[in-house]
Amino acid sequence: MAGSSSMDTEAAGQQLKHGSGYSIPATAHAVDTDSWQQVGLLMVIGFNCAYVLSFSNLMMVPLGWAWGVACLLLVGAAAWYANWLLAGLHFVDGQRFIRYRDLMGFVFGRNMYYITWFLQFTTLLLCNMGFILLGARALKAINSEFTHTPARLQWFVTATGFIYFAFAYFVPTISAMRNWLATSAALTLAYDVALLAILIRDGKSNKQKDYNVHGTQAEKVFNALGAVAAIVVCNTSGLLPEIQSTVREPAVRGMRRALLLQYTAGAAGYYGISVAGYWAYGSAVSEYLPNELGGPRWAAVLINATAFLQSIVSQHLFTVPIHEAMDTRLQRLDEGMFSRYNLTRRLCARGLVFGFNVFVTALFPFMGDFVNLVGSFALVPLTFTFPSMAILKIKGKSGGRCNRLWHWGIIVFSSVLCVATTAAAVRLIFNNARIYHFFADM
């Protein structure tokens, strides 16, 4: 490949030979250790996280019933196909690519490596801030059930960030999460069942549901584009190679099986909650679903508590690539993750990441408006555009004319979608800028 080099990988000069004949870049984290069932379960619970409590408002309200359900299905299918393609690029020219940015750097050169790095890390940092905010809102909602003067949101942001930090410190890698998956799955099932039960009850008793899409024609178009971006966020992560790096051989077939599990059983969970929330409350559904719930106090406490506890595991999945990059740079790779030297370095690295994220989240407690921007600006190219670009570059003319036209069509369409949804997301932020206040108690 023109312009490609193993020096475009993050751990340049530290290639390790695998027993199967391919090489992988050195990393502080485990590679080639987990079954596809474990990874599939991790992805299912990772995407069925506290974010589902906002999806009815973000995805269904701007689109209405017909377009909402259609976009859920179409975007979900497109995300599955795009990730299926990306999983097939895990091995190229005798190398196993455990980082997305390494793959793009190898195929297109160093500039593309840095572009992918920027898009990935921007997504992951904002995603982690969103998790911190949602976790804080869950804790504040619990506190509000027991007092008329709940503490400020910033206290809960700090508490959430510290708990996330502790989990990331003692459970440092994706593979190390295996012991927590059963607990997380049980928590997911608990709040999904409780939430659905209350939504069904409220939906039956609510006779004044309004399903109309409100606003001027221009507002409807921009809001619909924002909803499409939110649907992209709920279906993909932009870090598939990093997750796939832990899958045992055959990694491509195993990852594709895990993706099938995510986009069937997994999608049924967060799509079901999103549709049920919209059905129960219509266009008046809250941006944080538990705020709407009727029923006893214990039910609201249960839903918020289980959602918060489950998010501890989910958020870790979406920040591990940042931790892996820092651990690989700072730790001694010939020592275990829990050696004294590596524990000290990890304490500093995790503290830096979560300290920054907690401060920014407390300063700007309106991260929901940035979900659409993440989906449009970063996840659309990472999910749809880049895999087709890489396939065209790797296969060249050998892929056949129809195949080339298909992938060029994906590139053009996803690029237009990226521009349109980014414009809609930026417009939303500018329109809401007047109500933003630093350290607001939302």
**pLDDT tens readout for residues 139-153:** 998 998 888 888 888
pLDDT of residue 291 exceeding 90, the answer is no
> Burial level of 317, CB count in 10 A (0-12/13-18/19+)?
buried
- The DSSP output letter for 216 is -
As a whole number, mean pLDDT of residues 421-435 equals 80
Share of the chain above pLDDT 90, in %: 54
pLDDT at 365: 75
Closest C-alpha to 75, from 424, 412, 417: 417
pLDDT of residue 3 exceeding 50, the answer is no
As a whole number, mean pLDDT of residues 76-87 equals 96
Amino acid in position 12: A
Angle between helices 110-144 and 100-108 (to 10 degrees): 160
Give the span between the Cα atoms of 79 and 236, in whole angstroms: 7
Strand partners, 25: 15
CB atoms within 10 A of CB 366: 16
For every residue of 221-268, DSSP letters joined together read: HHHHHHHHHHHHHHH--S-HHHHHTTBPSSHHHHHHHHHHHIIIIIHH
**pLDDT tens readout for residues 327-351:** 999 998 888 888 999 999 999 999 9
The answer to whether 114 touches 265, Cβ cutoff 8 Å, is: no
pLDDT at 85: 95
Helical H segments across 109-239, by residue range: 110-144, 153-170, 181-205, 217-235
pTM as predicted? 0.89
pLDDT band at 5 (very low <50, low <70, confident <90, very high): very low
Backbone angles phi, psi at 339, to 5 degrees: -70, 155
Structure tokens given for 144: 């509000």
Strand partners, 95: 23, 92
Domain boundaries, the chain: 36-224+240-365
pLDDT at 1: 53
Give the span between the Cα atoms of 211 and 281, in whole angstroms: 9
pLDDT at 401: 84
Task: For residue 405, give the H/E element and its range.
Answer: helix 401-432
pLDDT of residue 41 exceeding 70, the answer is yes
pLDDT at 358: 93
As a whole number, mean pLDDT of residues 302-312 equals 91
pLDDT at 148: 81
